[in-house]
């Protein structure tokens, strides 16, 4: 049976993107690759409205988080961190381990930190950075990154850092016009590339901050080591992932073909349809409706459904989803709906969820969720 990879990353990788990974690898100094890498970097800057710098480094989202922390602040700097769940807490741990003084504003899982609270907190100290996760994958809560950016713009000494791992290329983010100083993501989410690339954008202000820090202890994730390569990829610092960068180039081609704004609109439409259909089947969505992500759904089981039985049965019906984290382990599953998927995928997935419910002994009418989904998408 065909397997649908519907976890919140890695997401399904389109055939044409896989083909790039299967190409014969060439020297990273080959003029053809240097030109491809340069065009990837300039497209990333243009698409995400960044007049500063873009970085593409071998690694995952966590490396991008560490890179952001290392290049933006030094030990004893005050950092304000907004956490909507597990990945916000991870970012707090990264800054804390590096000796930054981290004030965390966190919400109950599924709720969000109020803007007024953030604006009051900003008055308390001269924060060197404000850090937020755009979509916390553990809770499906989406931060209002544009509104937070407006708050931070009143504080010229505060860098605004956004973890876009579960959002970038699926939910609107604009570096310059949203006042973002560092935006970061991984290749395996809404770009629809396999895991393996850490991608960052940095404003001029962020680059100036890096300069002011002098020598930093981190070597591999030092912006200053990478900047000469990002300006001229024929130079060497550490070996670029040649095939993965081609894969990202193909993903950017797919995004350009769809149109970034259309892609964002598609993610909103899919999220509403999927969430409404799941609710019609008796599930509830963890995140409050006003702050609910467009890239994934964090879906709480109705009474009587066993997590392991549900996910194993769903897997045998052809669909892989992820389990809940932290306090929601065993109570929830997480369904990704980001990147290069289409209506065929969603209909197949919803039908498999219905069959699974039926096999788990839950009263369901086959076609019920699909009907809601199709009416929303049609
Ligand atoms: N931030 C968020 C919001 C994430 O969802 C993830 C991964 N699920 C990460 C950071 C860490 O990324 P990675 O697993 O690629 O290191």
pLDDT of residue 121: 98
d(CA 54, CA 183): 9
The two counts, helices (H) then strands (E), for the chain are 13, 15
Is the model's pTM score more than 0.85?
yes
CB count in 10 Å sphere of residue 101: 16
Atom of ligand 1 nearest to the CA of 9: 8
Cα 11 to ligand 1 centroid, rounded to whole Å: 13
**Ligand 1 within 6 A of 60 CB?**
yes
Cα 200 to ligand 1 centroid, rounded to whole Å: 13
Nearest CA to ligand 1 atom 4: 165
Angle 235-57-160 from CA coordinates, rounded to 5°: 115
What are the tens digits of pLDDT across the range 151-200? 999 999 999 999 999 999 999 999 999 999 999 999 999 999 999 999 99
d(CA 124, CA 240): 42
Do 139 and 110 touch, CB atoms closer than 8 A? yes
Atom of ligand 1 nearest to the CA of 134: 3
Helix axes 368-377, 343-359, angle to 10 degrees: 160
- Backbone angles phi and psi of 267, in degrees to 5: -60, -40
d(CA 45, CA 61): 18
The helix (H) or strand (E) run that includes residue 198 is strand 197-202
**For residue 33, cis peptide bond before it (omega within 30 degrees of 0):** no
Cα 63 to ligand 1 centroid, rounded to whole Å: 9
Ligand 1 pocket test, candidate residues 10, 56, 58, 62, most atoms within 8 A of CB: 62
Angle 256-49-106 from CA coordinates, rounded to 5°: 110
Ligand 1 pocket test, candidate residues 81, 87, 142, 191, most atoms within 8 A of CB: 87
Cα 130 to ligand 1 centroid, rounded to whole Å: 18
Atom of ligand 1 nearest to the CA of 164: 3
What are the tens digits of pLDDT across the range 51-77? 999 999 999 999 999 999 999 999 999
**Ligand 1 within 6 A of 186 CB?**
yes
Cα 355 to ligand 1 centroid, rounded to whole Å: 31
DSSP character for 96? Answer: H
Cα 296 to ligand 1 centroid, rounded to whole Å: 13
Structure tokens belonging to residue 164: 């876009």
Ligand 1 pocket test, candidate residues 61, 65, 193, 336, most atoms within 8 A of CB: 61
The owner of tokens 């879906």 is: 299
Helix axes 223-231, 204-212, angle to 10 degrees: 130
d(CA 296, CA 166): 8
pLDDT of residue 329: 98
Measuring CA to CA, how many Å separate 372 from each of 131, 279, 347, 350? 38, 10, 10, 10
**Ligand 1 within 6 A of 58 CB?**
no
What are the tens digits of pLDDT across the range 30-40? 999 999 999 99
Nearest CA to ligand 1 atom 12: 61
d(CA 54, CA 226): 10
Per-residue pLDDT of the chain (378 residues; tens, 9 = 90+): 899 999 999 999 999 999 999 999 999 999 999 999 999 999 999 999 999 999 999 999 999 999 999 999 999 999 999 999 999 999 999 999 999 999 999 999 999 999 999 999 999 999 999 999 999 999 999 999 999 999 999 999 999 999 999 999 999 999 999 999 999 999 999 999 999 999 999 999 999 999 999 999 999 999 999 999 999 999 999 999 999 999 999 999 999 999 999 999 999 999 999 999 999 999 999 999 999 999 999 999 999 999 999 999 999 999 999 999 999 999 999 999 999 999 999 999 999 999 999 999 999 999 999 999 999 999
**Ligand 1 within 6 A of 9 CB?**
yes
Atom of ligand 1 nearest to the CA of 63: 16
Helix, strand and coil content of the chain, in percent to the nearest 5, comes to 45, 15, 40
pLDDT of residue 4: 97
């Amino acid at each position: 049976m065909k397997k649908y990879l519907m976890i919140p990353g890695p997401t399904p990788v389109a055939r044409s993107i896989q083909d790039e990974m299967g190409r014969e690898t060439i020297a990273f100094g080959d003029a053809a690759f240097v030109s491809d890498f340069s065009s990837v970097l300039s497209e990333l800057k243009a698409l995400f409205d960044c007049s500063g710098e873009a970085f593409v480094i071998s690694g995952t989202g966590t490396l991008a988080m560490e890179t952001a922390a290392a290049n933006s602040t030094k030990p004893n700097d005050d950092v304000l961190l907004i956490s909507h769940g597990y990945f916000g807490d991870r970012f707090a741990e990264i800054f804390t381990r590096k000796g930054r003084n981290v004030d965390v504003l966190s919400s109950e899982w599924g709720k969000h930190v109020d803007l007024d609270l953030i604006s009051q907190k900003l008055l308390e100290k001269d924060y060197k950075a404000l850090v937020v996760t755009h979509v916390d994958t553990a809770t499906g809560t989406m931060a209002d990154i544009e509104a937070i950016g407006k708050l931070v713009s009143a504080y010229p000494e505060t860098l605004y850092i956004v973890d876009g791992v579960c959002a970038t290329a699926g939910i609107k983010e604009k570096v310059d016009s949203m006042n973002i100083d560092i935006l970061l993501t991984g290749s395996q989410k809404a770009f629809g590339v396999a895991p393996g690339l850490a991608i960052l954008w940095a404003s001029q202000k962020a680059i100036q901050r890096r300069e002011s820090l002098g020598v930093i202890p981190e070597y591999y994730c030092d912006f200053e080591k990478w900047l000469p390569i990002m300006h001229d990829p024929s130079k060497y610092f550490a070996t670029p992932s040649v095939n993965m960068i081609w894969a990202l180039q193909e993903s950017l081609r797919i995004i350009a073909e769809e149109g970034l704004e259309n892609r964002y609109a598609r993610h909103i439409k899919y999220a509403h349809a999927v969430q409404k259909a799941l609710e019609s089947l008796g599930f509830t969505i963890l995140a409050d409706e006003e702050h609910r992500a467009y890239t994934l759904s964090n879906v709480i089981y109705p009474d009587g459904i066993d997590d392991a039985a549900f996910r194993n049965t769903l897997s045998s019906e052809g669909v892989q989803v992820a389990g809940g984290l932290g306090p929601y382990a065993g109570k929830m599953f997480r369904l990704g709906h980001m990147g290069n998927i289409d209506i065929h995928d969603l209909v197949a997935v919803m039908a498999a969820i219905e069959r699974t419910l039926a096999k788990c002994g839950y009263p369901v009418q086959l076609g019920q969720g699909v009907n809601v989904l199709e009416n929303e998408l049609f």
